[in-house]
Chains A and B, each alone.
Chain A
Amino acid sequence: GAVVSQHPSRVICKSGTSVKIECRSLDFQATTMFWYRQFPKQSLMLMATSNEGSKATYEQGVEKDKFLINHASLTLSTLTVTSAHPEDSSFYICSASLPGQGWNTEAFFGQGTRLTVV
């Protein structure tokens, strides 16, 4: 199956600094990638849809200036948490879909990034 690699798997940063998380599709080209946030013992909350070569589409309530998404190539999307605060601590997961799947959209997930802001 398709492989999505997410890096780093774990990061601790100081409050006020920015953190970049990378999501790469290793063996396929992903025109669309998705970024999710997961709180402990909860489901995945879609933050934004990242489209190669265009601006990301953010879900309602997600601050686009705080969570910057860049999808510069068909194999890489990045999420930058700017001016991080302790409330941004969470598990962030990316996924990528194979293009042109119509209703049969199957997503492949990265390993997730545990962000802790101290």
Chain B
Amino acid sequence: GDSVTQMEGPVTLSEEAFLTINCTYTATGYPSLFWYVQYPGEGLQLLLKATKADDKGSNKGFEATYRKETTSFHLEKGSVQVSDSAVYFCALSVPANQGGKLIFGQGTELSVKP
């Protein structure tokens, strides 16, 4: 079945360091791919998305490129801030006629130290 695998956390970085969180997926069709962010005690917020191969999603300095050949959607940011500390979830979408649900990776906790 469809699945998402993320690199394990926690990831601890110093402020202004470069961030990469790896995400790979398995899907039978052509899913859309998402990164969600969860701050402590809150629900999930969409960070960015890509709907087809070679699309690049970007938001708030974060980027991820939909790579069909490597089935990957790695999240990157050139210079992290303390306020980026959160849990990041990679997800893919199942089409609406198959339920329209999201399948999540296990989440990667990011901690940025000043």
Contacts and interface: CB of A to CB of B under 8 A. Distances in A.
A95 B45 CA distance: 11
A43 B89 contact: yes
B101 A44 contact: no
Interface size class of chain B, counting residues whose CB lies under 8 Å from the partner chain? 20 to 34
Contact of B30 (A46, A103, A106, A107): A103
Contact of B32 (A103, A108, A112): A103
A54 interface: no
B101 A112 contact: no
A95 B42 contact: no
B46 interface: yes
A41 B41 CA distance: 11
Nearest to A46: B101
A34 B94 CA distance: 13
Contacts of B101: 34, 46, 49, 105
Interface SS of B by simple majority:
loop
Interface centre among A44, A99, A101, A109 (most CB of B within 10 A): A44
Contact of A6 (B43, B96, B99): B43
Interface in B87-114: 89, 93-97, 99-102, 104-107, 109
Interface size grouping (class) on chain A: 20 to 34
B58 interface: no
Contacts of A99: 96
B41 A101 contact: no
Contact of A110 (B29, B43, B95): B43
In the complex, which of the residues B49, B89, B100 has the most CB atoms of chain A within 10 Å of its own CB atom? B100
15 contacts: A34-B101, A34-B102, A44-B104, A102-B95, A102-B96, A102-B97, A103-B31, A103-B95, A103-B96, A104-B51, A106-B32, A107-B46, A107-B102, A111-B42, A112-B43
Interface of A: 1, 4, 6, 32, 34, 41-44, 46, 49, 57, 93, 95, 97, 99-112, 114
